[in-house]
A = this chain, B = another copy of it.
């Protein structure tokens, strides 16, 4: 299929798909006219890459992942990629820790000037 249809099927933009393709993540081939020709398996591949990006992995990191990451469509992750996920989790934990401390600092400033601070509540949000 052409890149346009792949974009429609995956919800990613053609621009992004070209980016993933250039990174060697999609295993496409070219027609005689130069057009990219994607097989059906490119659909889950693109969605997988998009999912990894949403999890906070960079394209460069994804490039280093073993090929099974992009071949498998199941929920299972091939063993070789688990380490990357663990590292990513540790990074997220560090960010959570830093952010929590930042929150404490802000509460300190607010609390020192505005004693009526609300209880520690969470603001719902819709990122991705």
B99 near A99 with CB under 8 A, answer yes
Closest Cβ of chain B: how far from A58's Cβ, in Å?
Answer: 15
Interfacial chain B residues near A23, Cβ < 8 Å: none
Is residue A60 contacting chain B, with contact meaning CB distance below 8 A? no
Interface size bracket, A side: 35 or more
Interfacial chain B residues near A103, Cβ < 8 Å: 89, 92-93, 96
Of the listed stretches A1-9, A33-41, A74-82, name the one at the interface; the rest are far from the partner chain.
A74-82
B56 near A109 with CB under 8 A, answer no
Closest Cβ of chain B: how far from A42's Cβ, in Å?
Answer: 22
Please name the 5 residue pairs, one residue from A and one from B, whose CB atoms are nearest each other, closest first.
Answer: A94-B125, A93-B123, A89-B106, A98-B127, A92-B103
